[in-house]
Amino acid sequence: MDLAGTRHITAAAVEETTSVQHAVIDAFTPAWRHDPYRSYDVLRAAGPFVPGLLGPHLVPGYAECDAILQNPAWSHAEESELLHPDSDVELPGSFLWMEPPDHTRLRGLVSKAFTPRRIEGMRGHAERVVADLLDKALAAGEVDLVEAFAYPLPLTMVCELLGVPESEHAAIRRMSAGIARGLDPDVLMSTDELANRTAAVGEFLDFFGALVAERRARPRQDLISALAQVEAEDDRLTAAEMLGTLLVLVVAGHETTVNLISNGILALIRHPDQFELLRQQPDLALPAVDEMLRYDAPAQLTTRTARQEITVSGRTFASGDSLILILGSANRDPQAFTDPDRLDLTRYAQRGRVNRHLAFGLGLHYCIGASLVRLEVEVALRAIAARVSAFTLLADPPRYRPNLVVRGMSELPVRLSA
């Protein structure tokens, strides 16, 4: 068992362990990042609450994850304390990690940028970006799809939404990768990665602090200008809250979408019948996005802490008890989905018949960017269906980043034909 990349899980700790304990370790081990799903099967079979490595129990099943996410008595505000006790840098507070009334106030301000009309208004831009990226990839013939397609599309879209100039995209990418890695539990990171997170957060705060000041002085039609105006004119948004909000929009928003695109294309390559179906029926592109989110969730886990005594599936938790919800496992739960390990692009084509997936969370913190993600990835899949006849995987399995929370490939080398 390769435990490279973990600092506190020693070889001694994995000796004499049961298969469930092995599955717990494997689910958190970089060596199994390419396929954590068999470990999740073992965890679900072991029961609804499985003792974890970090203290809190793991929650691998759909029914429990669904119930906990929907119950506001479970808070998300303690995640930093839980996963980042070693942090020497305070990740700026975002409403992702707040509870009402602050959560309601901040989410209300940002949700104005995500109205269906505004998101639909970005379709033309997404189509142009996708067409340009595909032109280049098809001309090259062999590419790393993460680099050539999955990364630039969401980066361009989120920068467009916020109002970050194109000349700064490379800097945003560098900072955001360092911070996304830093969303993992501290115990799973090397000293260098922790230092890199500190540097990336510092760089992010300096960069966006300066950009906000610039937009406050010379506003444009973008989200940063709108938020800078609110911050300057009334007391609904502090400077720190604005930077925290921008951090989540950039990092949690765009790194996840990169993974959805690359995980989704890999799933199509591994299910040629489904790729052919998409080529025959391009209108499956939108339901396909949800099936790809279910099949290989880009955000694999989240945490919740009880704010009062709560009973879930017959077990009572005291106020202050924390849990790690494995969304990626809940989405493969055979109790919730027929044939869960099969990619079925028609699964979400008939609304109401299938359990919703949990890849965007649920309840109070349901992903604010869900409609933007659906638009971007639908546009990408339609273009792929129309223009690509075949993909050949050039490395199998492809290389994965060590990231556990925001999980995905570091490269996806393919040959593609028009």
Query: Where does this chain bind ligand HEM (CB under 6 A)?
Result: 76, 95-96, 107, 158, 248-249, 252-253, 256-257, 260, 298-299, 302, 359-361, 365, 367-369, 372-373
Closer to ligand HEM by Cβ: residue 77 or 390: 77
Distance separating alpha carbons of residues 229 and 224, to the nearest angstrom: 9
Distance separating alpha carbons of residues 252 and 70, to the nearest angstrom: 21
Q: To the nearest whole angstrom, how small is the minimum distance from the Cβ of residue 202 to ligand HEM?
A: 22
Closer to ligand HEM by Cβ: residue 25 or 129: 129
Greatest CA span in the chain, whole angstroms?
64
Closer to ligand HEM by Cβ: residue 46 or 164: 164
**Token representation of residue 407:** 């999980």
Q: To the nearest whole angstrom, how small is the minimum distance from the Cβ of residue 80 to ligand HEM?
A: 12
Q: To the nearest whole angstrom, how small is the minimum distance from the Cβ of residue 18 to ligand HEM?
A: 29
Distance separating alpha carbons of residues 406 and 408, to the nearest angstrom: 7
**Pair 231, 246: CB distance under 8 Å:** no
How far is the first Cα of the chain from the last one, in angstroms, to the nearest whole number?
41
Q: To the nearest whole angstrom, how small is the minimum distance from the Cβ of residue 256 to ligand HEM?
A: 3
**Token representation of residue 212:** 């906000």
Q: To the nearest whole angstrom, how small is the minimum distance from the Cβ of residue 359 to ligand HEM?
A: 5
Single-letter amino acid code for the residue at 396: D
Helix, coil or strand: residue 400 = strand
**Pair 107, 365: CB distance under 8 Å:** no
Q: To the nearest whole angstrom, how small is the minimum distance from the Cβ of residue 372 to ligand HEM?
A: 5
Closer to ligand HEM by Cβ: residue 157 or 416: 157
Q: Which residue lies nearest ligand HEM, judged by its C-beta? A: 369
DSSP label at residue 324: E
In our burial notation (b when 16+ CB lie closer than 10 A, e otherwise), range 258-296 reads bbbbbbbbbbbbebeebbebbbeebebbbbbbbbbbbbb
Closer to ligand HEM by Cβ: residue 27 or 180: 180
Closer to ligand HEM by Cβ: residue 70 or 389: 70
Q: To the nearest whole angstrom, how small is the minimum distance from the Cβ of residue 195 to ligand HEM?
A: 26
Distance separating alpha carbons of residues 14 and 3, to the nearest angstrom: 10
Give me the residues paired with residue 392 across strands.
Answer: 415
Q: To the nearest whole angstrom, how small is the minimum distance from the Cβ of residue 336 to ligand HEM?
A: 16
**Token representation of residue 325:** 């919800």
**Pair 297, 290: CB distance under 8 Å:** no
Closer to ligand HEM by Cβ: residue 23 or 260: 260
- Taking residue 392's Cβ as centre, other Cβ atoms within 10 Å add up to 11
Q: To the nearest whole angstrom, how small is the minimum distance from the Cβ of residue 158 to ligand HEM?
A: 5
Cα distances from 212 to residues 161, 209, 215, in angstroms, run 14, 5, 5
- Taking residue 222's Cβ as centre, other Cβ atoms within 10 Å add up to 17
**Token representation of residue 219:** 């506003």
Q: To the nearest whole angstrom, how small is the minimum distance from the Cβ of residue 93 to ligand HEM?
A: 11
Q: To the nearest whole angstrom, how small is the minimum distance from the Cβ of residue 280 to ligand HEM?
A: 25
Continuous segment of H or E residues that includes residue 62: helix 62-70
Closer to ligand HEM by Cβ: residue 23 or 83: 83
Distance separating alpha carbons of residues 49 and 288, to the nearest angstrom: 31
Closer to ligand HEM by Cβ: residue 3 or 260: 260
Distance separating alpha carbons of residues 163 and 319, to the nearest angstrom: 42
Closer to ligand HEM by Cβ: residue 23 or 252: 252
Closer to ligand HEM by Cβ: residue 43 or 260: 260
